[in-house]
Amino acid sequence: MSKENGSKFLVIIPARGGSKGVPRKNLKELCGQPLIKWSIQSGQELNRLKTIVVSTDDNDIAQVATLSGALVVSRPAELATDNSQTELTIAHTLESVPDSDSYTHIVLLQPTAPIRRKGLVDHAIEKMLCDESDSLVGVVENSPFIWKGSTNDATAMYNVARRPMRQSFTQDDLSYRETGNIYITTVNAFRNSGVRVSGKTSLFVLDMNEGLDIDTQLDFDLAEAMLRIPG
């Protein structure tokens, strides 16, 4: 595809040392290897010109990343707090890598979303290029049975008097939830907007298990069980 000519992808994996829900989360073993390594491997599967970069403030994470074949960018402490915006880490990483102007796209793979089917990143890029989009977001489908408001004063976002059957859902009935699994943006769009999603945006629908974001020990247990399912 001509749109792909000259494309070069900077795969950024942000992995700070601190975490509240599960201490040292990014180094905790999941199915026999550190959590962060799953995202590094997903980036390495990308069948395009790319550089895999781990941005971290932690020496142990840096060592795992280096041994796994990733480039490491040392993240300043002020960008590694609980309240630090990921966009600031993306900008810092983009500024820190050699030949930063040679990259056309940024692929953000958050290590807390380790479940990605083989070829997922390639397929997401193919969709984005085909759609001629500025950004792409990984999502999972929601059913239309959504309520909004407080628990004592909520409003249904669907017609409760004509509740649709699941097999009759149309595209217009569905909504989508971001998972944190994958984001892609052009470098130009990011530099112009300062955010990971801007301009014309494609949605890349993930399998439901790929929507798991690890924040607790239970999440780890669920991810372990999912990853051990054959196939």
2-141+176-225 to CATH, choices 3.10.180.10, 3.40.720.10, 1.10.3720.10, 3.90.550.10: 3.90.550.10
Write the pLDDT tens digit of every residue in 99-113. 999 999 999 999 999
Percent of the chain with pLDDT over 70: 96
The set of residues, in sequence order, having a beta carbon less than 8 Å from that of 42 and lying 6+ positions away, is 109, 116, 120, 121
d(CA 175, CA 139): 10
Q: Is 174 helix (H, G, I), strand (E, B) or coil?
A: coil
Write the pLDDT tens digit of every residue in 38-95. 999 999 999 999 999 999 999 999 999 999 999 999 999 888 888 889 999 999 999 9
Q: Do 139 and 205 touch, CB atoms closer than 8 A? A: yes
The answer to whether the predicted template modeling score (pTM) of the entire model surpasses 0.85 is yes
Q: State yes or no: pLDDT of 2 exceeds 60.
A: no
Q: State yes or no: pLDDT of 168 exceeds 80.
A: no
d(CA 9, CA 94): 11
Mean pLDDT of 143-152: 86
d(CA 66, CA 53): 10
